[in-house]
Amino acid sequence: MSEQNKTWLWFHRMGSPAYFYNFAGLLLPWCVIATVILMLIGLIGGLVYAPADYQQGEGFRIIYVHVPSAWMSMFVYMVMAINGAIFLIWHIKLSDIIARSSAVIGASFTFLALATGSIWGKPMWGTWWVWDARLTSELLLLFLYLGYIGLRAAIDDRRVAGKAASILALVGVINIPIIHYSVVWWNTLHQPASISKFDNPSIHIDMLIPLLCMALAFKLFYLCILLINSRSELLEQEKRTQWVKELVTSS
Amino acid sequence: MNPKQKQRLVLVSLLVIGLGTGVSLVLMALNENINLFFTPSQVVAGEVPTNQRFRIGGMVTLNSVEKLDNELTVRFKLNDSAKEVQLEYAGILPDLFREGQGIVAEGKLNEEGIFIADQVLAKHDENYMPPEVAQALEASGSAYYNNEENR
Amino acid sequence: MMEFLHMGGYAGYIWSSYGIVMVVLLLNLFFSWRRHQTVLRRLKQLHSSGNNES
């Protein structure tokens, strides 16, 4: 079988609920282990080994939880929006499950970005909050997440809820580039990005490495949550099927 | 992809693009209001609201900080590499306040064109490095540290 | 050790930040795992009792 066919076959198999359920179940423990290891490396690296900043002293270490949270808040929303589009266009149920399984953790990351950012801002900027473009758009993101969760909860019909939520996610997706470019397009209190795809990072390498570890750890954590949640959702959706029946009665 | 799926793809794309365009237009129209602060150049050019509180942001000019005797008031100049504005502030300055640092102040312009601030926030840049590296940069005279353009 | 906890005077800010992050992440993990257990239990009941009906 050619490589292309193999990939297509794998994707196709994923569409089968039973296959996905088992695959996710096998992947999960490894995901958990990887998350724990990377989190430990990141935390120790960030709290102990990274040198203090010339300007902010030890205070800058909040970066190791603030930035990964912020990055994840946007990443998870993109996952929700993209899967929402896939569900709307191709009616693939697994996409709706993935989107649904991501909402709460995504909202959590957004809340954490705002909370840790606020705590960091107080000693450094001199204020807990300011209505600049970056902070305001991130707050808007939290409202979008909450609206998304609320909308799904308010509609009983699973498919209709999925469609409505997908539309909301797509409507709100414009906020993501706004958040990202807010510090470039407008005058803000929040400084521009230290890490970008095109420029050299303006953060010292000894400080950067734990940050990248934490970013990866947060991503893996999200994957763990996603796997657990989507398995629960899958069981619910497929509860009357034979494979679920066999699964729950055999344990 | 069957025709119905194609149709939904088009609709979804239209939704996203249409919304994106709409929001972009709105943001462009609101541009001035989204900015947190005015620059010294804008203040000097008179582009700021008169008799109203507003925010000004820029770099603290080197050697411009003076403490007024017997008072808690401090005076300093704020620049954006082009124009300069004189500020007066009677309060506690943030820890990160120093010459060459970016700040954002809120307050009002008085008749003499001096900005009387009632809040001063420090705006730090996106650079993170250990003290030795910062000192090396300053010592090497790369002018990074002292260059007013670097925030 | 004390110096580490003191974090150059920023202890309050740093530890509350890390604390809130750990709490929120662990809560997410806990609730996700618990939901999975609940669903399994409920479906087991559904299929055990439903065996005589269907």
Q: What is the pLDDT of residues A150-184, one digit of tens each?
A: 999 999 999 999 999 999 999 999 999 999 999 99
Cα–Cα distance measured from residue A206 to residue B25, given in angstroms and rounded to the nearest whole number: 42
Please tell me whether the overall predicted TM-score, pTM, comes out greater than 0.90 for this model: yes
Q: Tokens at residue A71, please?
A: 């990055």
Domain residue extents for chain B = 3-33, 35-139
**Residues A101-133: pLDDT tens digits?**
999 999 999 999 999 999 999 999 999 999 999
CA distance C33 to chain A (A): 7
Q: How far does CA B84 lie from the centroid of its chain?
A: 14
Looking at the 3D structure of chain A, how many domains does it have?
1
Neighbours of chain C (3+ CB pairs under 8 A): A
**Residues A47-75: pLDDT tens digits?**
999 999 999 999 999 999 999 999 999 99
Domain with A189, as residue range(s), is 20-250
Task: Give residue B28's pLDDT band: very low, low, confident or very high (50, 70, 90).
Answer: confident
Torsion of CA A51, A53, A57, A62, to 10 degrees: -80
Residues 29-48 on A with a CB inside 8 Å of C are: 43, 47-48
Examine the pLDDT at C51 and tell me if it is beyond 60. no
Residue of A nearest to C47 (CA): A245
Q: Do residues B125 and A191 make contact, with C-beta atoms less than 8 angstroms apart?
A: yes
Average pLDDT over residues A197-206: 87
Task: Give residue B148's pLDDT band: very low, low, confident or very high (50, 70, 90).
Answer: very low
Q: Which residue, A226, A227, A196, is CA-closest to A109? A: A226
- Residue A39 lies inside a defined structural domain of this protein: yes
- Residue A8 lies inside a defined structural domain of this protein: no
Residue of A nearest to C20 (CA): A112
**Residue B79 DSSP one-character state:** E
**Residues B47-67: pLDDT tens digits?**
888 788 999 999 999 989 888
Residue, of B90 and A225, whose pLDDT is higher: A225
Q: What is the pLDDT of residue C50?
A: 57
Chain A contact for C34 (CB, 8 A cutoff) = no
User: Could you give the count of Cα atoms lying within 13 Å of B66 in the half-sphere of its Cβ?
Assistant: 8
Q: For A96, phi and psi rounded to 5 degrees? A: -65, -35
Answer whether A123 sits within 8 Å of B95, measured CB to CB: yes
Q: What's the topology of domain B35-139?
A: OB fold (Dihydrolipoamide Acetyltransferase, E2P) (2.40.50)
**Residue A57 DSSP one-character state:** B
Compute the count of residue pairs across chains A and B with CB atoms less than 8 Å apart: 116
- Residue A9 lies inside a defined structural domain of this protein: no
Q: What is the pLDDT of residue A11?
A: 73
Which residues partner with B108 through β-bridges? B116
Which residues on chain C are in Cβ contact (under 8 Å) with A58? 7-10, 14
Average pLDDT over residues A24-32: 97
> What residues have CB less than 8 Å from B2, skipping those under 6 apart?
none
- Residue A127 lies inside a defined structural domain of this protein: yes
Q: Which residue, A211, A58, A210, A218, is CA-closest to B95? A: A58
